[in-house]
Structure 1
Amino acid sequence: MAKKNSEEKEMSFLDHLEDLRWHLIRITVAILICGTVAFIFSDFIFEDIIFAPKRMSFPTYQWLCDISTMVGIEDTTFCAAEFPFKIQNPSVSGQFSAAIWTSIFAGFILAFPYIIYQFWKFISPGLHANERKHSRGFILASSFLFFLGVLFGYYVVTPLTINFLGNFIVSTEVSNEFDLSSFISTVRSSSIAAGFIFELPIVVFFLTKIGLVTPKIMRKYRKFALVLVLILAAIITPPDVTSQVIVAIPILILYQVSIYISKVVVKNQNKKQKANV
């Protein structure tokens, strides 16, 4: 019997598209299944997750209140009894739509390891056997970084944003009544955006693999990267220096880690080239 490898034929462009279509279908089904589970537990998701940063009992506020008290900062908003704003629903189907879309995004977060697995299954046939061997931890590493970023966004970026915007007023004549979809969007975008930002080392790994990024280039443009990080921190956080610094620090750490990863990849590639000579 002929070996399987000898029977395999190179896939055409249409075959790749068909393969990609099935991977996308599996991803969609996984998100829908996880989203359905999230919808069943929507009470828990809204009360204990979505609306938790609105309460001053949220762990981040307690921690910042303790630090403020320790350093002697008075009149801090982190130690207030409650936020001076309310959440309202201005549309008939607003709450139902919020439940549906929140469940879908929750399904995406829950299904992320499977999504990465499907992505890996799509690109892995184009890699050499030794490359697949050295990249086995890709799914675990990318999932860990994503969930770590989501937690950072939820426990750091989200409460800082809500605390600043919830207490900011232009006049005592105007009361803050936030739209339900706007509040949920703030929590969702802060968490998921941070999750993707924390994927930087994985992105750098693949860019180094294909030769678009090197440690030398990353070190050369470190100053420009610092400026971009500060701009990014300013975009995803409220316009106060403290919040921007808190967000910028882990991003800069990720950049340094990415330089190290790029260095390791280039070193392994050089060893491989010398071995083949």
Structure 2
Amino acid sequence: MSEEGLMSLMEHLGELRKRLFVVLLVLVAGLVLGLFLAKPMYEYLTTTEQAREIGGFHTFSLWDGIGIYMKFAFIIALVPVVPLAFYQLWAFVKPALRKHEQTAALRYVPFALLMLLIGIGFSYFVVFPMAFHFTSEISRSLGLEETYGIVQYLTFLVNIVVPISLLFEMPVLFMFLTAIRILTPAGLRKMRRVAYFGMVVIGVVVTPPDVVSDLLVAIPLILLYEVSILMCARIHRKQLLKDAEFDSRYESAALSE
């Protein structure tokens, strides 16, 4: 490799490190902010219908209180970090994009925040109550006395909300990668069977073991995947038209010379 090529590679690595550092910095700042917002968030979650059904929480370790704060801080930190990560990725690949591609890719940054919030709402208001009531009914049918630790309750909640919320970023991520020419609709179609299988597995893991509950989670995720393919195909068609227009102009300029 030439010295010029090596310097170029080192510059790219330095730029990538700078982008990752910014994301990490915002993550830390989000965690700090989350620590301050953890208590009101905790007070809200412990007054919901599910929390009232339990009747009271218990702690089994001196570290449980700290664990609660950190779980809330992490969820709160995700809200600014996810769109920022998309922006930093856009900024990193921006020099390699054409002008119209730069503008098109940047539009997905606010959309990433919107999809994250939709994912949080879906997982918390639809999936979590369904999973909670099912597990509670099983315990009662076995004659078990429900004595829940606060950490176990919140871990159950977080393990449902975070994965599903991040999966709702799938259309944004796929469209973004298509806009910067890393992904193609044809590639997504080839991955369709594997993607479907993965989403059904996720539906089975985060919901009660019955077909209806599994489908209530798996079907929206599969629909998101199909919508992603359609949106990526639309973006790809525009790219092909732009490329054809660019090639036509280049050939015309070459002939005129």
The TM-score by the shorter chain falls in which range? 0.7 to 0.9
Query: Which residue in 1 is equivalent to 2:130?
Result: 160
Please say if residues 50 and 184 of structure 1, whose CA atoms lie closer than 8 Å, have aligned partners that are also in contact: no
Alignment pair present for 1:47 and 2:43? yes
TM alignment of 1:1-277, pairs within 5 A: 12-49=8-45, 52=48, 54-55=50-51, 82-83=53-54, 87-169=57-139, 171-172=142-143, 174-209=144-179, 210=181, 212-215=183-186, 218=189, 222=192, 225-275=195-245, 276-277=247-248
- 1:227 offset after TM fit, Å? 4.1
Aligned residues: 241
Using the alignment, how far apart are the partners of 1:10 and 1:132 within structure 2? Answer: 26
Q: Deviations over 1:146-201 (max 9, x none)?
A: 221111111112211222222322732x3333333332222222222112111121
My pick for the range that moved more, 15-24 or 261-270, is 15-24
Q: Unaligned regions of 5+ residues in structure 2, if any? A: 249-257
| CA distance, structure 2, for counterparts of residue 163 and residue 256 of structure 1 | 30
Name the SS of the counterpart of 2:148 in structure 1: strand
Measured in 2, the distance between the counterparts of 1:254 and 1:217 equals 12
- CA offsets 1:226-261 (integer angstroms, 9 cap, x no match): 444322211221212222222123213212211211
In 2, the alpha carbon distance for the partners of 1:237 and 1:96 equals 27
Q: C-alpha distance in 2, partners of 1:225/1:107?
A: 28
- Determine helix, strand or coil for the equivalent of 2:57: strand
CA deviation after TM superposition for structure 1 residue 222, in Å: 5.0
Give the alignment's Cα RMSD to 1 decimal.
Answer: 2.8
Q: Distance in 2 between matches of 1:22 and 1:130?
A: 25
TM-score by length of 1: 0.75
CA contact (8 A) 1:200 1:255 kept: yes
Structure 1 unaligned runs (5+)? 1-8, 57-81
After superposition, the Cα gap between the structure-2 partners of 1:50 and 1:127, relative to the gap in structure 1 and judged at 3 Å, is farther
- Give, as a single letter, the amino acid of the residue that structure 2 aligns with 1:240: D
Alpha-carbon shift at residue 86 of structure 1 (Å): 5.3
Query: Hey, what does 1:70 align to over in structure 2?
Result: none
Name the structure with the higher helix share.
2
- How far, CA to CA, are the matches of 2:205 and 2:44 in structure 1? 27
1:132 Cα deviation from its structure 2 partner: 0.5
Q: How far did 1:265 drift?
A: 2.0
CA distance in 2 between partners of 1:272 and 1:118 (Å): 25
Distance 1:10 1:264 in 2: 37
Distance in 2 between residues matched to 1:208 and 1:22, nearest whole Å: 24
Cα separation, 2, equivalents of 1:156 and 1:112: 22
